[in-house]
Amino acid sequence: MIVVHQFEPSKGENSDVTPLGERTLRTGEPIPSDSAWLDLFEPTGGEIKAAEAFAGLSLPTPEEMDEIEPSELLYTEDGALFMTARVLCLAKTNRPKIANVSFIRKGRILITVRYDEPKPFQSFSGHAQRFGVSRKDPDAIYVGLVDMIVGRASQILRTTGDRIDALSDSVFERASRGGRPVTTNEYQSVLATLGQEGSRISKVRESLVSIELMLRFASPPAPGGSEESEPQGRIGTMLRDIASLETQTEYLLGKVQFLLDTILGLVNLSQNDIVKILSVIMVVFTPPTFIASMYGMNFKNMPEYDWAYGYQYGLVLMLVSAVVPYLVFRWKKWL
């Protein structure tokens, strides 16, 4: 599917900010010459050939988009910039994923190739139709789209942070309750949620690092500036935002790890309490067991067999041997 975005002519050629119209090409329909952005979503072989003929270049294949070397993802060819970034998809589900999206910039035309549906693409398309895009700035569509992707990552991190805070409150509230100790089963859902949130944060970080590399490749430092200097304008602002978001991901991942360690510590404490109780039971019942075993030997020369109250004597002796260790444990405050 090829989605064509064109500046609406009704706003006039001299207008700076112009709404960006959108329509999907029918099969075999030629690509308009005034297209500003071609969005190829799960393109067929014929659609790829049509886009290549329109732009005069070769589009990357899904296998090339899945490479990991920066030189294979960020390069210049035939006077165009080829950039492939990792974009977060299905961010609010339990199974978020990373999608490979290629951005090709040649002159004033932007071509995107994708095989997934990241939400920022729909959001930016709707925003551009309502509020318009600067038609005098050749980078306006590209920068606006990437800015929407970065903004989406920020929203996901904020939502994830709120969810982790709620989990943290739940964990410590449950640990502070009196009564019986907590068990592993009570924390299973919390552990599963923490694992999902940690995976989500890791994918957001991977996406941000990829976008940062793409922005730096597309906007090298100004002539005369150092390699460490930030680009000017919106791209420089996005790079600073990305740096802040990467710091946020480190903080959230640290918090996830802290909560995991806390839960494991609480479970260990609970298990230690159970082991302590079992140990006390064993110590309390060991002397009575010894006494019962001793009088169960049935030797003929045992004088207690001839006692009238030998049975009662044995019961009292076993009771005393059980109570005394218990009282000692209480006195030592081991219970």
What does the block give as tokens for 121? 């693409």
Residue 272 has pLDDT above 60, yes or no: yes
Q: What is the model's pLDDT at position 228?
A: 58
In the CATH hierarchy, which fold is given to the domain comprising 2-133? Beta Polymerase; domain 2 (3.30.460)
Q: What is the mean pLDDT of the chain?
A: 80
Higher pLDDT, 228 or 268: 268
**pLDDT tens-place string over residues 11-66:** 455 567 778 788 887 887 788 878 888 888 888 888 888 888 888 888 888 888 88
Q: What is the model's pLDDT at position 128?
A: 80
CB 164 within 8 A of CB 117: no
| Beta pairing class for 109-114 and 37-41 | parallel
CATH class for the domain made up of 276-331? mainly alpha
Q: How far from 275 is each of 115, 157, 163, 330, CA to CA, in Å?
A: 54, 41, 34, 17
Residue 122 has pLDDT above 70, yes or no: yes
CATH of segment(s) 147-273: 1.20.58
Q: What is the model's pLDDT at position 198?
A: 86
- C-beta atoms surrounding 188 within 10 Å: 11
Delimit the domains of the chain by residue range: 2-133, 147-273, 276-331
What does the block give as tokens for 258? 């802290």
Instruction: Point out which residues pair with 7 in neighbouring strands.
Output: 20
Same fold, 2-133 and 276-331: no
CB 164 within 8 A of CB 259: yes
Higher pLDDT, 99 or 228: 99
Q: What is the model's pLDDT at position 335?
A: 65
Q: What is the model's pLDDT at position 267?
A: 73
Q: How far from 15 is each of 58, 134, 135, 163, 330, CA to CA, in Å?
A: 33, 8, 8, 44, 87
Segment 141-167 shows an average pLDDT of: 87
pLDDT > 90 in the chain, percent:
0
Residue 333 has pLDDT above 70, yes or no: yes
Residue 222 has pLDDT above 70, yes or no: no
Q: What is the model's pLDDT at position 224?
A: 53
Residues in the chain: 335
